[in-house]
Structure 1
């Protein structure tokens, strides 16, 4: 079981590394275009307004946003498990499956006038497509504001109204947030890795007024937006709530909890003593993934952080 946990943790770490390896962490809401030396504010106009007709999305989140804004504009998507049982994506060609890189020939054959990728995941194929003369766009969503700005930017590019989707986002957040519990979000056990305020997960916790014990910490972790913690630091903070993240490939909740119970410090934490340890999916909390995944994570946070 220890080996299974370690493999799962490594897989999760690699997923986060891929999302963060190409740029330094930033506290600002940004979208990065394909020129690696140029970072722009999301409010800047970089895409042709209203002229995009055929979009291939290499990130599940961008595919979902485009589809909800105007489903006729999306002509190719990444093969994400998030869309496996989603009828609206049933007949849309997949240009990649699993961990395999996107098939450039399939993308070109779809004759897109825009290909959207996620920074860190899609840089290499995006650069190759740009060399072929295809318009490309790299996105980075590491806080709530960047999600809203991305939605507005994509809506302008395909001549769609972003307001219905933006209004839906608002329903995910608490109407009257109250001061929450001290919280540790644990995305890996070895090392103990937690999101600070510069990550999607950290920003989401802040939206729910959680007292994220790692929010203001900085460290030497190569993963932007995440810090490593010692067992002593966790004991010192002694969080009231602990959130465990299920790796992308999945693992049973029982396996996650059983492996942690073997740690000497685990039973000393008030969250453990009060049975306030919860398991969240990777998509929604660590990687936004899709609109439905974000909504599910927010619903769970309401239940966990606003509980009596």
Structure 2
């Protein structure tokens, strides 16, 4: 009887430990779906560049076996198999890689198809600073990275330092940040808009318009920004847009055009947000309408 009780106790402990292990590897994603794992995923596919960069920043780049066509940082991921884009992923290519988990955005609309094929999917889509922190901690939980919070602290410190680098007399410029042709802009409620606010800029795209709204070009003309921030891929023909010749930023050549690698750092909500903040701060200092004049 004594041995039976000991056996039952040992069995109960083993069951409890097994249960705790499963709980430790369970992640509730942005759909509200809880995805459980028997251990840390060894083979991962990411179809969102910011998630790719976050996995690598957390020290687990080697677990990635495939990425979307836009994931290009860090350099090591450029050698991985490409599985299409986030919107149009190649399901067959993903399945062929035998991933333990696929990291995807809500906008990819591929989760159900992959799950029907027996592949686990974690949907995470950061759009704000708080989202970025939350996603980093979720990935840290999934990858069992005990100090995932350190990555967020480094981002926060970098953004704060960028804000402190701008002289007070140069604060308050009206800015327009174009994310993609359309034009799609970074609004106040986006992570880019939150960074601009911390840099003392006045975003012409208010929070009520959404994080990344498609705008009527006439709205931008009427808003008449002091400074325009835009990627090289979107900047062609800027002067030829109807009515834009009268915008103060173009008239006074207060436009920051970012090459592709810098634009990527600016528009991806992940570990390079501090670098993005530094680039924006430099632009706002170099192109400030108040430079040498004093604030009106």
TM-score, normalising length: structure 1: 0.67
1:137 aligns with 2:122: yes
User: 2:148 is matched with which residue?
Assistant: 162
C-alpha distance in 2 between matches for 1:139 and 1:99: 12
User: 2:10 is matched with which residue?
Assistant: none
Higher helix share: 2
User: 1:89 is matched with which residue?
Assistant: 77
C-alpha distance in 2 between matches for 1:268 and 1:77: 43
User: 2:45 is matched with which residue?
Assistant: 56
User: 1:7 is matched with which residue?
Assistant: none
1:182 aligns with 2:174: yes
User: 2:12 is matched with which residue?
Assistant: none
User: What is the SS of the residue equivalent to 1:201?
Assistant: helix
Distance 1:216 1:88, change over 3 A: closer
C-alpha distance in 1 between matches for 2:183 and 2:67: 34
1:67 aligns with 2:56: yes
- 1:259 pairs with 240, 249, 259, which one? 240
User: 1:79 is matched with which residue?
Assistant: 69
Deviation per CA, 1:64-90, whole angstroms, max 9, x where unpaired?
Answer: 21122122322222232624xx54225
- 2:91 pairs with 90, 95, 104, which one? 104
- 2:227 pairs with 241, 249, 253, which one? 241
Runs of 5+ in structure 1 lacking a partner?
1-29, 34-38
User: 1:23 is matched with which residue?
Assistant: none
CA shift, 1:241, in A, is 1.2
C-alpha distance in 1 between matches for 2:98 and 2:112: 17
Q: What does residue range 1-308 of structure 1 map to in structure 2 within 5 Å?
A: 32-33=30-31, 39=32, 48=37, 51-69=40-58, 70-80=60-70, 82-83=72-73, 86-92=74-80, 94-97=81-84, 101-120=88-107, 122-124=108-110, 126-160=111-145, 161-175=147-161, 176-177=163-164, 178=168, 179-187=171-179, 193-218=184-209, 225-229=212-216, 231=218, 233-246=219-232, 250=233, 253=235, 255-260=236-241, 263-264=242-243, 266-280=244-258, 281=260, 282-286=263-267, 288=268, 291-292=271-272, 294-307=273-286, 308=291
User: 1:11 is matched with which residue?
Assistant: none
C-alpha distance in 2 between matches for 1:143 and 1:50: 30
CA shift, 1:171, in A, is 4.1
Distance 1:290 1:144, change over 3 A: closer
User: 1:21 is matched with which residue?
Assistant: none
CA shift, 1:236, in A, is 4.6
Deviation per CA, 1:94-144, whole angstroms, max 9, x where unpaired?
Answer: 241468943333323333221111121x212x2111112222111211112
- Equivalent pair of 2:173/2:227 in contact (CA under 8 Å): yes
Higher strand share: 1
Higher relative contact order (CA 8 A, sep 6+): 1
TM-score, normalising length: structure 2: 0.69
C-alpha distance in 1 between matches for 2:84 and 2:183: 30
CA shift, 1:59, in A, is 1.3
Distance 1:165 1:270, change over 3 A: same
Runs of 5+ in structure 2 lacking a partner?
1-27, 292-296
Deviation per CA, 1:224-265, whole angstroms, max 9, x where unpaired?
Answer: 63152463x54553322122344xxx36x5x334424xx33x
